[in-house]
Amino acid sequence: MKAFNKIFSKNYSNKLVNICKNSIEDIKSSGAYKVERVLQTPQSMEILVNNKKMLNFCANNYLGLSDDERLINVAEFGLKEWGYGMSSVRFICGTQTIHKDLERAISRFHKKEDSILYVSCFDANAGIFEALLTPEDAVFSDALNHASIIDGIRLCKAQKQRYNHLDMNDLEEKLKLTEARVKLIVTDGVFSMDGDIAPLDKIVNLAKKYDASILVDESHATGVLGKTGRGTPEYFNVEKEIDIINSTLGKALGGGCGGYTTGNKEIVDLLRQKSRPYLFSNSLLPFVAKGGMEVFRIIRDSEDIFQKLNESTRFFRAKISGLGFKILGNFDCPIVPIMLGDEKAAIDFGMEMESEGIYVVGFSYPVVPKGQARVRVQISAGHTKEHLEKAIKAFETIGKKTKII
Ligand SMILES: *Cc1c(COP(=O)(O)O)cnc(C)c1O
């Protein structure tokens, strides 16, 4: 190790490296140090980790499409047909017919006029606020919005208002007291830590009352909520009232990568002119664009997949709370936080579940407030009844053993 360091470290100042070392020590002593867990198989319901077969309950693979044969075949064909990469941003020579086709498929799915593709939804969020808003405008953001929304807002010069999580009184107060040319309300559709859903019906009412626009980040909701998977706006039956939707192809929709903004055509056109992650970053890989179109084809033809996801979600939630666990979130949300109490309980619980072959993640302080440690389960339409029952049984066994229930 010493010799290795000698070869690869420069021999004068190590100031930055030492600072990093100290920061890592701090993170470790706070208990927040993250260790990557390494899968030895494709992403699926049954995976291999540390040479052990596990049932996976912690992926964003809500429709079980990550290793879907149809997607693999289309992507493989797309790779041969369209080549590996674009070597260009979109506006120079990085747009192929498949990128335009995918944008049309996205618009059609969300019933919007136009769409713009990014390599990730993080990029969509990073680019949108600065491109659309000026210091004359104001943005109203839920306190628990995703990190990429927070960063995107930081990059813009609009007035910034953060309202308490899901708190419509607080939002109204802030809308009422703020003078601005454009008022833009932004919220996650589904919040991934607490498994709750933004009350879009109420947000729409406030937007009408205070002449505001609405941007919803549907990353955990597209392909998840609603009878046909159109997300939170469909769930609340307010699709027309939502001005802008940002979402990802990296979760329910195949779990590959790619993000997008969809909405009014002038908004999308302005983003193509001004959004920096769009203008200054490479195009989506052609075969991923091809795969994305296949995802929209698959979900258009299979409404039953959303019904199955919803039934499994309700079944799991009912069984787990029936066992005496305290769970958070909306009963239609496949993200199920199961509360365990103190930090040590969460760590022990996670390890016991792992030995039962159930793969779940534990969150404890400082990621969530002290004393609110939890494991987060994510249900997928790819889980069979047997998978669900095995997980429920493990929760019962370990819950009793650790005296949580
Ligand atoms: C995951 C997520 C993103 C980032 O999506 P990527 O396409 O993986 O960059 C953005 N917003 C929310 C709410 C998310 O959950």
Crossing angle between the packed helical segments 200-209 and 168-177, to the nearest 10 degrees: 20
| H or E element in which residue 374 lies | strand 373-378
Q: Is the CB of 343 under 6 A from ligand 1?
A: no
Average of per-residue pLDDT across 378-392: 98
**Residue 274's pLDDT is what?**
98
How far apart CA 230 and CA 378 sit, in angstroms, is 19
Q: Is the CB of 219 under 6 A from ligand 1?
A: yes
Buried b (16+ CB within 10 A) or exposed e, 269-294: eebeeebebbbebebbbbbbbbbbbb
- Cβ atoms of 152 and 128 within 8 Å: the answer is yes
Q: Is the CB of 218 under 6 A from ligand 1?
A: no
| H or E element in which residue 28 lies | helix 15-30
- Cβ atoms of 255 and 59 within 8 Å: the answer is yes
- For residue 334, give the amino acid letter: P
Q: Is the CB of 120 under 6 A from ligand 1?
A: yes
Q: Is 36 exposed, middle or buried (0-12, 13-18, 19+ CB in 10 A)?
A: exposed
Q: Domain ranges in the chain?
A: 31-62+303-401, 69-300
Q: Is the CB of 259 under 6 A from ligand 1?
A: yes
Q: What is the pTM (predicted TM-score) of this model?
A: 0.96
How far apart CA 327 and CA 333 sit, in angstroms, is 11
Closest atom, ligand 1, to C-alpha of 190: 13
Query: Which positions are catalytic?
Result: 192, 220, 251
How far apart CA 350 and CA 346 sit, in angstroms, is 6
Tell how far the Cα of 10 is from the centroid of ligand 1, in angstroms: 37
**69-300 maps to which CATH number?**
3.40.640.10
**Residue 105's pLDDT is what?**
98
Tell how far the Cα of 122 is from the centroid of ligand 1, in angstroms: 6
Structure tokens at 175: 């809308």
Q: Is 386 exposed, middle or buried (0-12, 13-18, 19+ CB in 10 A)?
A: exposed
Crossing angle between the packed helical segments 121-132 and 147-154, to the nearest 10 degrees: 30
Q: What is the per-residue DSSP string for 295-353?
A: HHHHHHT-HHHHHHHHHHHHHHHHHHHHTT-EE-S-TT-SEEEEEEESHHHHHHHHHHH
Query: Does 321 have pLDDT greater than 80?
Result: yes
Q: Is the CB of 107 under 6 A from ligand 1?
A: no
Closest atom, ligand 1, to C-alpha of 248: 7
Q: How far is CA 189 from CA 133, 235, 315, 354, 363, in A?
A: 21, 10, 22, 31, 21
Q: Taking the CA atoms of the chain, what radius of gyration do you get in angstroms?
A: 22
Name the pLDDT band for 4 (thresholds 50, 70, 90). low
- Cβ atoms of 168 and 203 within 8 Å: the answer is yes
Q: Rounded to an integer, what is the distance from CA 65 to the centroid of its chain?
A: 15
Q: Is the CB of 374 under 6 A from ligand 1?
A: no
Tell how far the Cα of 284 is from the centroid of ligand 1, in angstroms: 16
Tell how far the Cα of 277 is from the centroid of ligand 1, in angstroms: 15
Tell how far the Cα of 158 is from the centroid of ligand 1, in angstroms: 22
Cis peptide before 366 (omega within 30 of 0): yes
Query: Does 202 have pLDDT greater than 90?
Result: yes
Closest CA to 127 of 242, 244, 233, 288: 244
Structure tokens at 369: 């407030």
Q: Is the CB of 145 under 6 A from ligand 1?
A: no
* Per-residue DSSP letter, 284: P
Name the pLDDT band for 248 (thresholds 50, 70, 90). very high
Q: Is the CB of 130 under 6 A from ligand 1?
A: no
Question: Which residue among 118, 148, 150 has the greatest number of ligand 1 atoms within 8 angstroms of its CB, and so is best to mutate?
Answer: 148
Tell how far the Cα of 124 is from the centroid of ligand 1, in angstroms: 9
Share of the chain above pLDDT 90, in %: 86
- Cβ atoms of 216 and 172 within 8 Å: the answer is no
> Which CATH superfamily, name and number, covers 31-62+303-401?
Aspartate Aminotransferase, domain 1 (3.90.1150.10)
Name the pLDDT band for 246 (thresholds 50, 70, 90). very high
Average of per-residue pLDDT across 383-401: 97
Q: What is the per-residue DSSP string for 162-187?
A: EEPTT-HHHHHHHHHH---S-EEEEE
pLDDT digits (tens, 9 = 90+) for 364-384: 887 788 888 999 999 999 999
Paired with 48 in beta bridges are 53
How far apart CA 9 and CA 27 sit, in angstroms, is 23
Question: Which residue among 146, 194, 281 has the greatest number of ligand 1 atoms within 8 angstroms of its CB, and so is best to mutate?
Answer: 146
How far apart CA 256 and CA 166 sit, in angstroms, is 30
In which order are the strands placed within the sheet that holds 52-56? 46-49, 52-56, 358-359
**Residue 183's pLDDT is what?**
98
Name the pLDDT band for 10 (thresholds 50, 70, 90). low
33 Cβ contact partners less than 8 Å away, ≥ 6 residues apart? 24, 27
How far apart CA 87 and CA 97 sit, in angstroms, is 16
How far apart CA 254 and CA 292 sit, in angstroms, is 7
Q: Is 51 exposed, middle or buried (0-12, 13-18, 19+ CB in 10 A)?
A: exposed
Structure tokens at 184: 């833009």
